[in-house]
Structure 1
Amino acid sequence: MYEPIRTKSVHGMDRGADYPHRSREEELDIQLAGHLAALLAVTDELGDAGAAERIAGQVARLRGAPPVRHTGLTDAGAGVLHRRAYDIAGRALVVAASRADTAAAILAAERMDAHSAALELASAH
């Protein structure tokens, strides 16, 4: 009927492979640093230097090197940028919480509050 498979599966979990594997913590660090770097880009575009420096410090801590700073502008309005920053900070908060990174979680929550307040202020006018 069917002939048995005579070779090893390429989909197996060969633990002896000679390529590096990352731990869950390392993967979460990479993901958190990416979210914070994206938040940094939007924060730089909004011109909030104080918040940008705090975010850059967290990115540097996670990556082991200072982040590359955003230089281009998207020509997006302040409301769009605040909404984008709020969403990115929310994703960073979820990853920071799952990683149990208190400093990054507090920073992300503070940024969510700041962008939420900016959005409320903009909608009131």
Structure 2
Amino acid sequence: MYEPIRTKSVHSTMAGNTTDFPHRSREEELDIQLAGHLAALLAVTDTLRSLEPSTDLDAAAERLAEQVARLRGGTAPVRTTMTGDSKVAALHRRAHALAGRALVVAASRADTAAAILAAERMDAHAVAQAEPQELTGVG
């Protein structure tokens, strides 16, 4: 029913000698991915800091910046300060999601420091998202 493949794969011949271009190891790829997630979380944290200044966010931003720099070989991340009409609740949701992604990658590469930091940030943003509930009388 199917005809067998008679020619070599174009992918192996297109690259020619596979040592012509750099290859990254799985660890290097995970480092790049984790640094990206943490840098995005840092950007959201910096935005939240400008809207709701707190010592917790300040400390978290510094720890995130340290981890990004470590993963990028000492290169400090770009820091942002945004002001405007951003919704704080939406920023906390975004930060929670980014911290979750960072936690998954940190766990897969067994980076304990980054995993602990990501889990702490997830908890902090989950608490910030929780709305105070009012007690109402039945009646």
2:114 corresponds to: 104
With structure 1 as the length reference, what TM-score do the two structures score? 0.87
1:25 corresponds to: 27
With structure 2 as the length reference, what TM-score do the two structures score? 0.78
Q: Is residue 2:102 matched to residue 1:92?
A: yes
CA-to-partner distance for each residue in 1:82-110, whole Å, 9 max, x for gaps? 00000000000000000000000000000
Query: Aligned to 1:69, which of 56, 60, 79?
Result: 79
Query: 1:73, CA displacement in angstroms?
Result: 4.4
Query: Aligned to 1:39, which of 17, 24, 41?
Result: 41
Aligned identity (percent) is: 68
* Bigger CA radius of gyration: 2
Q: Is residue 2:116 matched to residue 1:114?
A: no
Query: Aligned to 2:90, which of 77, 80, 103?
Result: 80
Q: What is the number of residues matched between the two proteins?
A: 121
Please give the alpha-carbon distance, in whole angstroms, between the structure 2 residues aligned to 1:115 and 1:69.
20
Q: Partner of 1:44: helix, strand, or coil?
A: helix
When the two chains are superposed, the root-mean-square deviation of aligned CA atoms in Å is: 2.3
Please give the alpha-carbon distance, in whole angstroms, between the structure 1 residues aligned to 2:29 and 2:35.
10
Per mean C-alpha deviation after superposition, the further-off stretch among 92-101 and 66-75 is 66-75
2:137 corresponds to: none
Gaps of at least 5 residues in structure 2 are 50-56, 134-139
Gaps of at least 5 residues in structure 1 are none
Structure 1 101/15 Cα, relative in aligned 2: closer, same or farther at 3 Å?
farther
Question: One-letter code of the match for 1:62?
Answer: L
Q: Partner of 1:94: helix, strand, or coil?
A: helix
